[in-house]
Amino acid sequence: MIHKEIAVRLIQLLGGEDNVISAAHCATRLRLVIKDEAKIDQEKVEELEGVKGAFSSSGQYQIIFGTGLVNKVYEQFAKELNLDQKETVQHSDAAKGKMNPLARFAKTLSNIFVPIIPAIVASGLLMGLLGMMKAFQWVDPDAALYKMLDMFSSAAFIILPILIGVSAAKEFGSNPYLGAVLGGILIHPSLFNPWGLATASPDVMDFYGLKIEMLGYQGTVVPILLAVYVMSKIEKGVRRIVPNAIDLLVTPFVTIISTGFIAFIAIGPLGRMLGTGITNILTYVYDVAGPVAGLIFGGTYSLIVLTGVHHSFHAIEAGLIADIGRNYLLPIWSMSNVAQGGAGLAVFFLAKRAKTKEIALPAAFSSFLGITEPVIFGVNLRYRRPFIAAMAGGALGAAYVVFMNVAANAYGLTGIPMIAIVAPLGMGNLIHYLIGMAISVTVAFITAFILGINEDEKK
């Protein structure tokens, strides 16, 4: 009944049932698309039982309840609004409709890459286990166990175009199985597999005068993204002109054969060039600017989080892993995240209000586990000074990890859980990562404590 009462009261504070266009939830937040946000009683929403903060971002009004509670509130919220029965546009589309072009692009990439993060993390952990077995000679490299784990660990990266093909096709409104087929075409066994084989060279085939390298796209990102986007346009265009009676036969055939030729002749080579170019530019900046780059990126990452654009970084990180086998961006983001936790911890000790303490402590610890929204929007940004302190801590911690060349072998985890994908690259890599975390948290905590908070000032 408590969750139902919260849901009923929340609907009233949001301006009524008619003011809610659509709703969804993630691990910690209730995500709403609101018709007129001016009708929301912001102050009373934040005072509602269980609410740790509320803010508007990326075309959505987001209310932080925290892990576990958000699911129960959403269940009652959906029942009260009859969301399953209402004929509304999909929540994702509704949210995108209220975003600017940059935010829509970031949201699209996020929707594509977030679902495949578990596969990438699992592969990274398996690679780490394999590396430890080899380094400490636990298993003979010729043993069946070692060979099997080697296959398990590299599989996700080899078939990455297929995984992205499925996810991207869903996002672009195309048939996900056609996306999988297109990804399969780009990594077909007839093509040379560049994954881990840098010394050999592929054959060249003559396609009516065009010289096309028989080179596969295992582990690549940009080629399949571009190819599936073009495929979705072709599929929708063909479906509009093909009679329903023969749609099942004609549309998939025309879509695959057309996109396949375009992918091999133009999209594939162009996408590979773009992906490699992005990697080279980032690596050049990383090598030349060094700790200064870490200082800037680590200090400003929290500001990027406020815009929602940070979700698009998964695509860049996946490209780094594919091209150079290591992700040197994620440790920078991680330093910024844990610094927010350090500042939130300072707020817990500084605060006089019981409500503030109640929110600050669990929110700070959640940021150490990689979930930063509760501490950013519910605590630090509310009092401003702790947010600035966290930026300082993140900047110094990031400068350190860049100086020590700390990297990860996957993406999707920050804070303490990220240890699992940092350790596989060596004990020194792990130690410097932990030192960077200590610097970020300590600097943020001390700075926030010195700056203090004013609990009486209006937000």
Instruction: Report, as residue numbers or ranges, the catalytic residues.
Output: 26
- The contacts of residue 382 (CB under 8 Å, 6+ apart) are 53, 459
DSSP one-letter string for 218-266: TT-SHHHHHHHHHHHHHHHHHHHHS-GGGHHHHHHHHHHHHHHHHIIII
The type of residue at 140 is D
**How many angstroms separate the CA atoms of 122 and 457, rounded?**
46
**Nearest alpha-carbon partner for 419 in 404, 435, 403, 405:** 435
User: Angle CA(178)–CA(182)–CA(184) in degrees, nearest 5?
Assistant: 115
Per DSSP, the three-state class of 138 is coil
Looking up tokens 């990220």, which residue turns up?
A: 418
Distances (CA, A) of 67 to 16, 50, 392: 26, 11, 28
Question: Using CB atoms within 10 A of its CB, is residue 416 exposed (0-12), middle (13-18) or buried (19+)?
Answer: middle
Per DSSP, the three-state class of 351 is coil
The H or E element spanning position 382 is: helix 381-383
The H or E element spanning position 64 is: strand 60-64
The type of residue at 127 is M
| 263 neighbors 186 (Cβ within 8 angstroms) | yes
